């Protein structure tokens, strides 16, 4: 499908846009995004393609002319929420204020694998689109407004290379930059290789130009390099994530580089060395382990042992003694024994994670794990998850208490209310959220760099006081 050429869009005297035979008056788009950072970033790309068609974002679903659901298939809970939201959307098919028909579309991972079923079951859905066609959303919306209904586009991009330009629609110094898409790992519980396709990397040269442009023209200071398995970046092109990081390190004005998500099998010596060499790589790494038991890891087809994983952590901590590690854990993988579960608790002791994301196993249709005969009950899974979380919180409280009295530099993201008190929230290089009170209520710290001394740190919250306010870095878009 050809992309709509922006040069073909004319702005008319009444402010509407003329595209081909259609007029696009000013309209509102409402988006619901489920799941991971990749999905949130995809939503941002989608919105950037809808702006030329005269759409602006609304938070109010009842005001929408176009409703988009960007779905996630990783966990059953997210699927169920989406089905329920889509079901309810039938009551909003006509905009109460304008009387116009509301177009409804679903994209992302569930749409990639279930588009036909969705269109059949939910007649209010106008179209469904897969994960590899989000840059064609303009054409799909055009088709919907020219009268086409109940269609789906879930084709894969067959090109060998992966080439895009990062789109940001916000005035923030933080940007997500896709560097690789797809995954070749096929962990036994994961649906991603089926919803996102095989691995394809962008080139280092393209990404460096892209980030330099974001830094120079959009005031970006912090980038998060994104992909399902960023550690595989460049393998098929003879490039590597470590090389990319060291090239990005040279961009003047860029302050922090993060990357996610990592696979422990692919954490190379070269990448570990980059954690020591790079001046801008964050003091944080999210390294999903999933289980502390080697036998469970084998059933998960994770390709590494706990010994390998812990050896990588040790090397990372040698390369950067400030580094803070977080992880993902699945509680109650099919047929997990009590002993295997205890191995996960042991791992928490050995790895000393700063925080964990932990979930009950949830079978994804089509994966190997979903076909495993399983003896575990919901109650056993729930109990094990609670044990893991409680165990981790004790470790976390101890680790965080060591922050008290120390000064951390944070990039301030927003303000909010905590128990009736106005506080600003910033994030450290090590990805910890820190709250502090402003010196006066009318003082704005939005996107300032601030040194904060930690006055109180518990497992779940860090409070501090301002030591020095550096203000905004020049070049930041207001």
Which contacts (CB < 8 Å, 24+ apart) does range 207-214 have?
Answer: 207/177, 207/179, 207/244, 207/248, 208/244, 208/247, 208/248, 208/251, 210/165, 210/166, 210/177, 211/166, 211/177, 211/248, 211/251, 211/254, 212/251, 214/166, 214/168, 214/175, 214/177
Check binding of 351 to ligand SF4 (CB under 6 A): no
Q: How far apart are CA 169 and CA 163, in angstroms?
A: 19
Residues that contact ligand SF4, how many (by CB under 6 A): 10
Q: Which is nearer to ligand SF4, 190 or 457 (CB)?
A: 190
Please check whether residue 14 is in contact with residue 51, taking contact to mean a CB–CB distance below 8 angstroms.
no
The binder of ligand SF4 chosen from 4, 105, 192, 242 (CB under 6 A) = 192
Considering only residues 149 to 178 of the shown chain, the ones binding ligand SF4 according to CB under 6 A are: none
Residues 212-251 as x/- pattern, contact with ligand SF4 by CB under 6 A: ----------------xx----------------------
What span, in angstroms and rounded, lies between the C-alpha atoms of 105 and 107? 7
* Cβ(230)–Cβ(269) below 8 Å: no
Those residues with Cβ within 8 angstroms of residue 288's Cβ, 6 or more apart along the chain or in another chain = 261, 262, 263, 264, 327, 328
Choose between 189 and 424: whose C-beta lies nearer to ligand SF4.
189
* Least Cβ distance, residue 74 to ligand SF4 (angstroms): 8
Cβ nearer to ligand SF4, comparing 283 with 303? 303
- In the bound complex, what is the minimum distance in angstroms from residue 220's beta carbon to ligand SF4? 26
Closest approach of ligand SF4 to the CB of residue 329, in Å: 13
User: In angstroms, what is the minimal distance from the CB of 263 to ligand SF4?
Assistant: 5
Residue 263, interface with ligand SF4 (CB under 6 A)?
yes
Candidates 30-38, 146-154, 182-190, 242-250; binding stretch for ligand SF4 (CB under 6 A): 182-190
3-state secondary structure of 142: helix
Q: Kindly state whether residue 384 participates in binding ligand SF4, applying the rule CB under 6 A.
A: no
**Minimum distance from CB of 25 to ligand SF4 (Å)?**
41
CA distance 357 to 367: 22
Residues 441-460, interacting with ligand SF4 (CB under 6 A) = none
Least distance to ligand SF4 from the beta carbon of 300, Å? 8
Reading the block at residue 258, the tokens are 């993060």
Spatial CB neighbours of 236, under 8 Å, sequence gap ≥ 6 = 199, 200, 201
**Which of the residues 309 through 338 are near ligand SF4 (CB under 6 A)?**
none
Find the shortest distance in angstroms from Cβ 385 to ligand SF4: 18
186 is a contact residue toward ligand SF4 (CB under 6 A): yes
Q: Phi first, then psi: what are they for 43, rounded to 5°? A: -60, -40
Applying CB under 6 A, among 17, 27, 103, 185 the residue interacting with ligand SF4 is 185
Residue 280 binding ligand SF4, by CB under 6 A: no
Is residue 190 a contact point for ligand SF4 (CB under 6 A)?
Answer: yes
73 binds ligand SF4 (CB under 6 A): no
- Residue 187 near ligand SF4 by CB under 6 A: yes
Distance of CA 418 to the CA centre of its chain: 26
Q: Is 252 exposed, middle or buried (0-12, 13-18, 19+ CB in 10 A)?
A: exposed
Cβ at position 228, least distance to ligand SF4 in Å: 4
CB of 193 to ligand SF4, least distance (A): 5
When asked if residue 297 is in the footprint of ligand SF4 (CB under 6 A), the reply is no
Closest approach of ligand SF4 to the CB of residue 190, in Å: 3
193 binds ligand SF4 per the rule CB under 6 A: yes
d(CA 20, CA 43): 25
Q: CA separation (Å) from 138 to 109, 174, 237, 316, 426?
A: 19, 25, 31, 44, 36
- Segment near ligand SF4 (CB under 6 A); pick from 82-90, 94-102, 185-193, 355-363: 185-193
CA dihedral 34, 70, 82, 124 (to 10 degrees): 160
The residues of the shown chain that bind ligand SF4, judged by CB under 6 A, are: 183, 185-187, 190, 192-193, 228-229, 263
């Amino acid at each position: 499908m050809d992309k709509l050429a922006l040069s073909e869009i004319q702005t008319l005297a009444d402010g509407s846009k003329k595209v081909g035979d259609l007029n696009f008056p000013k309209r509102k788009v409402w988006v619901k995004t489920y799941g991971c950072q990749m999905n949130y970033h995809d939503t941002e790309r989608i919105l950037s393609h809808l702006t030329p068609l005269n759409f602006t974002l609304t938070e109010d679903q009842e005001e929408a002319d176009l409703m988009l659901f960007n779905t996630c298939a990783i966990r059953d809970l997210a699927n169920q929420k989406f089905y329920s939201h889509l079901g309810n959307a039938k009551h909003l098919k006509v905009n109460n204020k304008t009387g116009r028909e509301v177009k409804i579309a679903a994209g992302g991972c569930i749409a990639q694998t279930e588009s036909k079923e969705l269109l059949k079951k939910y007649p209010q859905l106008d179209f469904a689109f897969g994960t590899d066609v989000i840059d064609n959303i303009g054409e799909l919306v055009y088709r919907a407004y020219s009268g086409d209904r109940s269609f789906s586009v879930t084709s894969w991009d067959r090109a060998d290379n992966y080439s895009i330009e990062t789109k940001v629609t916000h005035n923030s110094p933080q940007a997500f930059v896709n560097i690789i898409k797809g995954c070749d790992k096929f962990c036994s519980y994961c649906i991603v290789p089926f919803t996102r396709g095989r691995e394809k990397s962008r080139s280092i040269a393209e990404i460096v130009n892209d980030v330099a442009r974001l830094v120079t023209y959009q005031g970006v200071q912090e980038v998060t390099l994104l992909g399902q398995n960023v550690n595989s970046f460049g393998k098929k092109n003879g490039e590597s994530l470590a090389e990319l990081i060291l090239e990005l390190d040279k961009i003047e004005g860029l302050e922090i580089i993060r990357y996610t998500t990592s696979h422990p099998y692919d954490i190379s010596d070269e990448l570990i060395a980059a954690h020591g060499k790079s001046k801008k790589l964050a003091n944080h790494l999210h390294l999903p382990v999933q289980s502390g038991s080697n036998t469970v890891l084998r059933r998960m087809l994770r390709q590494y042992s706990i010994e390998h994983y812990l050896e990588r952590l040790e090397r990372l901590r040698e390369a950067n003694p400030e580094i803070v590690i977080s992880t993902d854990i699945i509680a109650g993988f099919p047929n997990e024994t009590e002993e295997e579960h205890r191995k996960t608790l042991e791992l928490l002791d050995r790895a000393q994670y700063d925080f964990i994301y932990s979930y009950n196993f949830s079978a994804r249709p089509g994966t190997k794990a979903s076909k495993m005969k399983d003896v575990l009950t919901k109650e056993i899974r729930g109990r094990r998850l609670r044990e893991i979380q409680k165990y981790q919180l004790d470790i976390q409280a101890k680790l965080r208490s060591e922050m008290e009295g120390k000064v951390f530099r944070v990039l301030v993201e927003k303000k909010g209310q905590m128990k009736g008190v106005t506080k600003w929230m910033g994030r450290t290089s090590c990805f910890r959220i820190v709250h502090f009170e402003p010196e006066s209520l009318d003082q704005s710290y939005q996107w300032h760099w601030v040194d904060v001394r930690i006055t109180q740190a518990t497992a779940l919250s860090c409070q501090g006081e301002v030591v020095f306010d550096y203000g905004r870095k020049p070049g930041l878009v207001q």
